[in-house]
Amino acid sequence: MKRIAVTGLTGQVVSALIERAPKGVEMLALGRPRFDLASRDAVLASLRSVRCDAIVNAAAYTQVDKAESEPDVAMRINGAGAGFVAETAAELGVPLLHLSTDYVFDGTLQRPYREEDETGPAGAYGRSKLEGEKQIAARCANSVILRTAWVYSPFGANFVKTMLRLGEDRDEVGVVADQLGNPTNALDIADALLAIAQRLVGDPNPGLRGVFHMTGEGEASWADMAEAIFAAAAARGRKPVRVRRIATSDYPTPARRPANSRLDNAKLKAHYRIALPPWRDSLDSCVGRLIEAK
């Protein structure tokens, strides 16, 4: 595997892939204005013009609340746009790795979600991502859809950076304690994507294709995650910040979010022998890096 084409320029997963690509693997990032998921012509033309061994579709409309007021834009990029990428991957005959989300589920199940569990997005972002999954499955058999969740990293915008910023001028931050999920470091996602791409290029086994859940090991509420962020920051000399554990109803947002976002990663382990590190370890190293960079 010599070259991977990845969609997006500054996103968390794109940036992590660029950082983690080993010597000898070129990571070619495609982004706006030239590559725009909103334009079928642009997607086809850019992807056709690069010679690559695999494609990672890491670009998406990811603003969960904003999507509620422009659902058609989200649908166009995450639904139709993903379909254009899949169509081109099939034409070029290269494997496609696509990222999806825990927000395709409604969150009412009382255990971690498995791949075959019924979907039922609670909001416009989740609906658009579910449409993307359908487009990918219909247009490119040589593909994997990796549902991940609660992604943070040293790059882009994410919950860890938000908490560290809020903690700079507050002693206490209120954070919802009744939404459960799996915090996932984009750098761990990148390592796994590289291994998965390598496997797909060399192994036609249909068992390696389809939908897989892929998140950091272990579960947390957003409040648990915030507490871990502030503990990691305090261990590096930042002033202590308390987390006030609040209910979802105390933190009104335009989008409804699943109460249970936990994903079961057993299928990925069984078929690929891949497991992401425990969330607390990866979170601690990310906080360390963000603080040391200052």
Ligand X SMILES: Cc1cn([C@H]2C[C@H](O)[C@@H](COP(=O)(O)OP(=O)(O)O[C@H]3O[C@@H](C)C(=O)[C@@H](O)[C@H]3O)O2)c(=O)[nH]c1=O
Ligand Y SMILES: NC(=O)C1=CN([C@@H]2O[C@H](COP(=O)(O)OP(=O)(O)OC[C@H]3O[C@@H](n4cnc5c(N)ncnc54)[C@H](OP(=O)(O)O)[C@@H]3O)[C@@H](O)[C@H]2O)C=CC1
CA distance 245 to 247: 7
Residue 62 engages ligand X in binding (rule: CB under 6 A):
yes
Residue 150 engages ligand X in binding (rule: CB under 6 A):
yes
CA distance 100 to 213: 9
Site string for ligand Y, 22-61 (x = CB under 6 A): ---------xx--xxxx-------------------xxxx
- By the 10 Å C-beta count (0-12 exposed, 13-18 middle, 19+ buried), 152 is classed as buried
Query: Is 272 an annotated catalytic residue?
Result: no
CA distance 148 to 16: 15
Stretch that binds ligand Y, among 12-20, 45-53, 170-178, 254-262 (CB under 6 A): 12-20
Stretch that binds ligand X, among 39-47, 79-87, 175-183, 285-293 (CB under 6 A): 175-183
Backbone angles phi, psi at 167, to 5 degrees: -70, -20
Q: Measuring CA to CA, which residue among 63, 80, 212, 81 is closest to residue 123?
A: 63
Residue 259: CB minimum distance to ligand Y, A: 16
Residue 14 engages ligand X in binding (rule: CB under 6 A):
no
Q: Which does 175 bind (CB under 5 to 8 A by kind): ligand Y, ligand X, none?
A: ligand X
Residue 102 engages ligand X in binding (rule: CB under 6 A):
yes
| Given 162, 218, 271, 291, the residue binding ligand X (CB under 6 A) | 162
SS3 state at 112:
coil
SS3 state at 152:
strand
Residue 16 engages ligand X in binding (rule: CB under 6 A):
no
Stretch that binds ligand X, among 74-82, 99-107, 135-143, 197-205 (CB under 6 A): 99-107
CA distance 8 to 107: 29
CA distance 4 to 20: 12
Residue 58 engages ligand X in binding (rule: CB under 6 A):
no
Q: How far is CA 212 from its chain centroid? A: 13
Measured from the CB atom, the residue of 142 and 184 that comes closer to ligand Y is 184
Alpha carbon separation from 71 to 61, 120, 124, 132, 272 (Å, rounded): 10, 16, 5, 14, 35
| Helical residues (DSSP H) of 169-258, grouped into ranges | 186-202, 222-234
Residue 92: CB minimum distance to ligand X, A: 27
Note the residues at the interface with ligand Y (CB under 6 A). Answer: 7-14, 31-32, 35-38, 58-62, 77, 99, 101, 129, 148-151, 156
Among all residues, which ones are annotated catalytic? 125
Note the residues at the interface with ligand X (CB under 6 A). Answer: 62, 64, 101-103, 149-151, 159, 162, 166, 173-176, 179, 222, 251, 253, 257
